[in-house]
Amino acid sequence: MLADLFISVLFIVYAISVLMGFGTILTWVERKQAAVMADRIGANRAYIRIPGTDVKLVWWGLFHGMADGLKMLVKEDFKPRTYDWYAYAVAPWVVFTPVLLVFAVVPFGGTLTPSQLFAPLAAWFGDKSYPMQIATLDGGLLIIFAFSGMTIIGAMLAGWSSSNKFALLGALRAGSQMISYELVLGLTLLGLILVYGTVNLDEMVRHQSGTVLGFLPAWGIVYQPFAATLFLTAAIAENKRIPFDLPEAESELIAGYYTEYSAMKMGLFMFAEFIEIAIIGALFTTFFLGGYNLPFMNDTGFVFPGGGTAAMPHGAVVVTQMTTFLAKVFLLCSFQILIRWSLPRFRYDQVLTFAWKFLFPLALANLVVTAVVMWALGK
Amino acid sequence: MTKRTFVRKRYWNEPQMGWYEKAYLPEILRGLAITGGVFLRNMAKWMTGKKGALTTYYPEETRWDYARGNRGKHVLVQRPDGSPQCIACNLCATVCPAKVIEIEAAFDPADAAHPKYPAKFEIDYSRCVFCGLCVEACPEDAIRMEKEVPTLPSPDRHVMWLGKEELLGWKPARDAAKPYPGRPATDKDRT
């Protein structure tokens, strides 16, 4: 019992530190990647001076994240004269918390058997093994939709309680946009549920460790390439980033629904956005890129399409799986940043037209085709 | 009352899009390939130790390609014996639109030809606008401007003063490229 608790706490600490780490590092990655894409150098002036010396550590501008955090902590916490102070204060947390909670059902590794890692642990753990995810739920996918839908409430609350017309307009845009794209997001994943026959994320990943047609890794993107594209598009729109940043379009709405927020409350909105980049990357990895597995890899080692196998010790498997997951998530984050710095913003009517007249029918068609194919294959 | 239907105005330079452009995704991918290509190219330069950006790291690096006529840091011209050619007439300080030049005159009875000389000559570069009027106003050709800018970046504006010692950096008599006193070119030189 105590061992289970220990493992759970370990996983929770790992998950939170991974998310916070991604949130912090992505502020830096975003700046630097945008700079490199534009032939610039990027933020490189924040430094830490070694006390007593003139040595300034710059480290490619990595300390800018710390400088930002410090700035947000010591800035004036502006309080607008609003009639709904409670909603105003609670809104950033309503946006921030569900983003963290989504990660609870995402598997970030295969199975962990502590007794195989360290022999002395066998007395304590027995030969129990734990799937490496915080909550092993059968309805993991449903949990994801439930929580990611909650961020809409936070955005609407923030806009409504700010007593600011720009904020209210931003909140309205956020509401309509996120509700539209939530629908597309759900529809694209229905095809995957048909293929895998489960909504348990861990089982979904296990389904992807085999091969298709003898040589392709059985990743979701191979089964459902169309759904993968639609999912990524809808997910970026969910996250309200350029090209879908209508709710906070600064040239039109100052900062949209968080116009009236300052200091760390504003920082929470920004941080939630950056963590959600990582979450989108994690979800896309889990659904379409084989999760924590390298191609042709499962919990015991590699099974190559030619028939060759390469068994690996348990510790190596665990480390490889966790690293692979982080690497895939990071690459996807980088891809999202590439999109954000390449495409111009949509017009508001174009965003909704795009969702309802383009993505929605395509997602439906994808679902129908998948269903027919699955029926024809007799599964 | 007749019902007026809305007719969208057609512009002469409207983009002509075929089905390929309207399909949206291929063009998006083409754009991403361009920006991603630039990213990878620059990243490869950074990784191999080259500089993948056009920016100059300003205080650490200065540009080498300032124009020859660029008005940068001031130079107090020296006589062959090393004393400043300035006679502390205050014309430059008077004409200066930013009022950045401060001169304190002094008297030297030993030098009969130029008894008045500047004991202090200070320029506040935090306010200097580099207009070059001081150079034009000087009757003695005692102040000039070199093309390099003074590198004084600092968060404190009170440390951006340069005094006589810093400004006397250039001694034309020792500079073969810029012989002094400059003799106006005559017909004899051209032949």
Complex confidence, ipTM: 0.81
H helix or E strand, kind and range, residue B118 = strand B116-124
Instruction: With CB atoms and an 8 Å threshold, state whether B28 touches A343.
Output: yes
Per-residue pLDDT band at B171 (split at 50, 70, 90): low
Q: Name the residue of chain B whose CA is nearest to A229's CA.
A: B25
Residue predicted with more confidence, A379 or A43:
A43
Per-residue pLDDT band at B104 (split at 50, 70, 90): very high
Instruction: With CB atoms and an 8 Å threshold, state whether B52 touches A341.
Output: no
The predicted model gives A17-23 an average pLDDT of 90
pTM for this prediction: 0.78
Q: Counting Cβ atoms within 10 Å, is residue A301 exposed (0-12), middle (13-18) or buried (19+)?
A: middle
**What pLDDT shows up at residue B136?**
92
Enter the DSSP assignment of A224.
-
d(CA A231, CA A253): 27
Per-residue pLDDT band at B183 (split at 50, 70, 90): very low
Query: Rounded to an integer, what is the distance from CA A307 to the centroid of its chain?
Result: 35
A358 contacts in chain B (CB < 8 Å): 24
Instruction: With CB atoms and an 8 Å threshold, state whether A35 touches B53.
Output: yes
d(CA A265, CA A254): 16
With beta carbons less than 8 A apart as the criterion, state whether A55 and A71 touch.
no
Residue A335 to chain B, least CA–CA distance (Å): 9
Name the nearest CA neighbour of A269 among A95, A102, A149.
Answer: A95
With beta carbons less than 8 A apart as the criterion, state whether A272 and A19 touch.
no
Per-residue pLDDT band at B177 (split at 50, 70, 90): low
Asked if the model's pLDDT at residue A198 lies above 70, the reply is: yes
Asked if the model's pLDDT at residue A108 lies above 80, the reply is: yes
A349 touches chain B (CB under 8 A): no
**What pLDDT shows up at residue A196?**
85
**Every domain of chain A and the residues it spans:** 2-42+75-376
B38 contacts in chain A (CB < 8 Å): 37-39
Q: Which residues pair with residue A216 across a beta bridge?
A: A212
Residue B18 to chain A, least CA–CA distance (Å): 17
The predicted model gives B79-108 an average pLDDT of 89
List the domains of chain B with CATH numbers.
Answer: 17-54 (no CATH), 74-173 (3.30.70.3270)
